[in-house]
A and B are shown apart, each in its own frame.
Chain A
């Protein structure tokens, strides 16, 4: 059972810790500094935190004591001579091929790799130099955002990426080569001729199922999709209650049929549906969805949950999500009921159980 959660917010990094008296809020680290994303290497407990200083740019930090104290390590950067600069750190993932291996996704769509726990980073040139990259574009950000890095637990050379907006990318050789994949996705924001092109898709988040990594869930700009062939083809989930729009999605690590989203109204109305917060859950592979509301505010609530701000524990029992309004809730019964953890916290960027 996961008893700790990292909560990365607009004003620092908090830890939610479950003790004898229930959940408490520890920290923050980096008070006043936007903390964008975290990654816990489950093998040794090393914590990585990607910061986004308003003035001083992105910076990477690392903790060896479970997120209590941090040291600054190297920050992924493009080399002199490139026409771009790393604007933000958007995603992190452990690379189990190396003792201290880490992947890092950024805006403007660059993927980096470290073999030494962030002491140094190498740009993944095979993706950066891909001929299609000139056609990638920003979705919600000025530049393409590489927000999802999903490593296949069966084969660490198989990695899937999600980019807003460049769709889904796959490597089977540890990053030496990349392919744009994803039939069945559609983009209503594009002209009809291009709506089904894989490289124009806007996956808001991609999450594989650890129990069956061929099953992949996606909250897309235009709906919720599920794949059963490792992201090559996708089926639309048509009956997400109360809305197909959102940013976050969580995949039950123990059950290929179960996933959760946090719905909003639509892309041109980014607020909670009917002024009420809910989490939507499917238990039948996306065919039917139930809005879970027990313990969540049901009037005059307008919160949106960012893409990284919903997570599920490794046993599939606990969920946590946080919103742009600084509300944070935890469920210990798979979403059936929710405990309020904070109502005055800073805007939540990401949530991670560990």
Chain B
């Protein structure tokens, strides 16, 4: 199962837990996390469902390409890192 890990900075604001989830795209993996931790969604995605402007997501070390649709594929062994961009500091 893909593993989704979140920046520790989110823990100042929410009780965020990393998770092993099912899903074959970034969207599916994140949706699986948000189903259990609904408040987290608004911290990571904007109202349109796109990745927030100053957030970044990596899959196994590579930054995702589709920040709007979140269609980048993940596989069972993937680790998805949800981090904050330096641009928003």
- Partner of B48 from the list A56, A59, A78 (CB cut-off 8 Å) is A78
Instruction: Say whether A84 contacts B47, CB under 8 Å.
Output: yes
Segment at the interface with A among B25-33, B71-79, B81-89: B81-89
- Closest CB-CB distance, B74 to chain A, in whole Å? 22
Residue pair B84, A55 in contact (C-beta under 8 Å): yes
Partner of B88, one of A54, A72, A75, A80: A54
Contact, CB under 8 Å: A56 / B10: yes
On chain A, which size bracket covers the interface? 10 to 19
Q: What number of B residues sit within 8 Å (CB to CB) of A?
A: 19
A39 to B84, CA, bound (A): 29
Known contacts A54-B88, A59-B42, A75-B42; is-contact A80 B48 (Cβ 8 Å): yes
Q: What's the nearest-Cβ distance from chain A to residue B81, in Å? A: 14
Task: Flag whether A83 is at the interface (Cβ < 8 A).
Answer: yes
Inter-chain CA distance A80–B52, complex, in Å, is: 14
Specify which of B9, B39, B48, B55 lies most central, judged by the most chain A CB atoms within 10 Å of its CB. Answer: B48
- Would you call B69 an interface residue if the criterion is a C-beta within 8 Å of the partner chain's C-beta atoms? no
Complex CA gap A53/B39 in Å reads: 15
Query: Are A77's CB and B42's CB within 8 A?
Result: yes
**Contact between A54 and B42, CB atoms less than 8 A apart:** no
Which A residues touch B47, using CB under 8 A?
77-80, 82, 84-86
Can you offer 6 A-B residue contacts whose CB atoms are under 8 A? A53-B43, A55-B9, A55-B84, A56-B43, A56-B44, A83-B48
The interface of chain B, by Cβ under 8 A from chain A, is: 9-10, 13, 39, 42-44, 46-50, 52, 54-55, 84-85, 88-89
